[in-house]
Structure 1
Amino acid sequence: MIKTAETYHVPVLLKESVDGLNIRPGGIYVDVTFGGGGHSREILSRLTGGAHLYSFDQDADAEGNVIGDRWWVLGDNEKPKGEKEERPGTSSGPNTYHLSPEEGDEEEQHDTSSGPTTYHLSPEEGDEEERPDISLTPNTQHLSPQPFTFVRSNFRYLKNWMRYYGVDHIDGLLADLGVSSHHFDDETRGFSFRFDAPLDMRMNKRGGRTAADIVNEYDENRLADVFYLYGELKNSRRIAAALVKARAQGRIETTQDFVQAVEPLFRREREKKDMAKLFQALRIEVNNEMTALKEMLLAATELLKPGGRLSVITYHSLEDRIVKNVMKAGNAEGKVAQDFFGRIETPFRPVNNKVIVPEDDEQQRNPRSRSAKLRIAEKK
């Protein structure tokens, strides 16, 4: 099935989350979860006065939504009339730059074949360390004359990339956490137990351990911890024991190998729900999602200007707890600091006293939005 930007991922709480940024003329904004580009497109439509948007995504599939719909990059509401559809490798004029560190080359290469006056930065192929080498880069703000910059990287490196672009402070950051619909619906990536696929689950397919590596190489106790901490499964030790037993007969390579090893442990009426939690736990471990989230939120706390907004959508209690703690106390543990006089010090003030959830009509249109929670906070 061919995915378009519109079907890659339906943006959840679109208006509410972007409204929460309180976009200002000339501001610097970041969407750390580009995905299908829905939230970025809405932000771009509101930018004025030289404002700029930086959008992050580590998945090369998401990058295709920038290339395939390049007019989004320009922030236009309509595709320019008479413009031909162009793909990578076709000539598009002299004012086009593609920033991509080449294999073994420390110098950034300018490629005039990838889009209209838009800087696109891609980390070196096969490089798990997606941090830019800021020592090699001039401190030049807003390399692109256009209002959009796409960064193909894990958002945990937010602070480094902003320094790379010479950005000391930002006016707002939006994050739509979790997994894109595209990942669940892609029959080849291993994110869903609905399809028999290689047990992969990597958001970044260019390197790193797969879900199969974890299932086959972690010891029983470590597997049990993963399923208990990230899936909140009470029978995590039985699940781990079943996997160890199954892999003794042969390596667990596919989603169906995995399901068959643990399926007898789930009650029929809860099988789908518990299996979803199990896949969630494995995916979180594969992609180191909780650590990445903490690092990104702490970087955002440092980068945001006074009055800057943090708008975050979560889909499960583990994510939500971290976001709530950072907004409340400035750290993932929720430990509130006090000054010398015992006065409580917090970096944010809440914009919404209660979490915002999708209205009934949105939940009906997009059932995957049902578990979404939006929290918005403003930097003091």
Structure 2
Amino acid sequence: MSTSLINGYHLPVMLDEVIQGLAITPTGYYVDSTFGGGGHARGIMASLVTGHLFAFDRDRAAAQIARSYTNTTCTFIRAPFSFIKEFLSFYGITILDGLVADLGTSAHQIDTPARGFATRWDGNLDMRMDQTSPHTAQHIVQHYTEAQLTQLLRLYGEVDRPAAIADAIVKARKKTAMLTTYQLRTVVEPFAPRWRVDQYFAKVFQAFRIEVNNELVELECLLKQCVDLIKPGGRIAFIAYHSLEDRLIKNFLYTGNCSGNVEKDAYGNLLRPFVPLQRKPITPSQEEINRNRRARSARLRIGVRIPQNP
């Protein structure tokens, strides 16, 4: 078994730091918005007595694993976290003590070539976290205009020469349908710096993955829901794996909005619903990185809900 896997799925990143950061109340209500392999969920459940955990994930594989977790302490809901507020309302829950989100892809998703998330194996250009979603990375590669491809590579991949890559993709697909990850790699490879080829591929794949799963819009929606759901003194824990995610979370915690625009009241106080528990993000220990290499880029930020102004 890979050191990145637990129960054949995924090692929870910074588990102890998340549990400590959430300061779990044994009688409280919590949400794990990215269930994955259930690592963080299990940690939260271990701290509950009469409290309850609601776990969300849109991946079919995560739903299968969740069958063994669902009990009187945990309710699993297969849905994207943009719908958390609606589903909690169905269960009569309007206030939470805390929420965790471990963003990005799981080890299981990456290590399954057919899912199309990995750059090192050949597989279908899929990249869907929800396998029922109609649009795959293949659809984007095949049908987006050159301008659309340029924009997503620039915004979501932050790669050098996005227009040149988009042009190359359009020319390549005119010759033959681009259906696999290796086909995309072949087109992109001439633009990758020799000293960081893998990192370049990862950024390109990241751009398509974010577009397929609407990840940044989903994240912004989740952050906004936290304002209504988390009670004063409650906490949120977000783990990000690239700058685009981390920037949204940081902006939200420091300014109260994802764009980072500072707004103040008449007394000069920042208008923000949360305050960061500490100024800098928490990062994995070297011991954890040695055990789970995929944790190396993780950044954990904890936010504490402050009371609303009367």
Q: Which moved more, 1:351-360 or 1:146-155?
A: 351-360
Q: Which moved more, 1:330-339 or 1:278-287?
A: 330-339
Taking the TM superposition and a 5 Å limit, the aligned residue runs for 1:1-380 are: 5-48=6-49, 50-67=50-67, 70=68, 72-74=69-71, 146-380=72-306
Structure 1 CA distance, aligned partners of 2:192 and 2:26?
54
Deviations 1:313-347 (A, max 9, x none): 11100000000111112211122222234432221
Structure 2 CA distance, aligned partners of 1:4 and 1:363?
13
Taking only the aligned residue pairs, the percentage that are identical comes to 44
What runs of 5+ residues in structure 2 fail to find an aligned partner?
none
Note the C-alpha offset of 1:220: 0.5
Note the C-alpha offset of 1:29: 0.3
Please, what TM-score do these two structures have when normalized by structure 2?
A: 0.95
| Paired residues of 1:176 and 1:312 also in contact (CA < 8 A) | yes
Aligned residues: 305
Structure 1 CA distance, aligned partners of 2:245 and 2:151?
17
Structure 1 CA distance, aligned partners of 2:202 and 2:26?
43
Structure 1 CA distance, aligned partners of 2:77 and 2:149?
33
Question: Structure 1 or 2: larger helix share?
Answer: 2
- Helix, strand or coil at the partner of 1:338: coil
Tell me the residue number matched to 1:111.
none
| Paired residues of 1:308 and 1:379 also in contact (CA < 8 A) | yes
Structure 2 CA distance, aligned partners of 1:352 and 1:340?
26
Structure 2 CA distance, aligned partners of 1:259 and 1:171?
44
Note the C-alpha offset of 1:6: 2.7
Structure 2 CA distance, aligned partners of 1:335 and 1:165?
35
| Paired residues of 1:312 and 1:374 also in contact (CA < 8 A) | yes
Structure 2 CA distance, aligned partners of 1:205 and 1:7?
19
Structure with larger Rg: 1
Deviations 1:279-326 (A, max 9, x none): 011100000000000001110122100001011111100000000111
What runs of 5+ residues in structure 1 fail to find an aligned partner?
75-145
Tell me the residue number matched to 1:119.
none
Note the C-alpha offset of 1:4: 7.6
| Paired residues of 2:19 and 2:44 also in contact (CA < 8 A) | yes
Please, what TM-score do these two structures have when normalized by structure 1?
A: 0.78
Note the C-alpha offset of 1:261: 1.6
Counterpart code for 2:116: G
Structure 1 CA distance, aligned partners of 2:198 and 2:5?
28
Q: CA RMSD in A?
A: 1.6
Deviations 1:69-102 (A, max 9, x none): x2x334xxxxxxxxxxxxxxxxxxxxxxxxxxxx
Note the C-alpha offset of 1:267: 2.6
Structure 1 CA distance, aligned partners of 2:102 and 2:185?
28
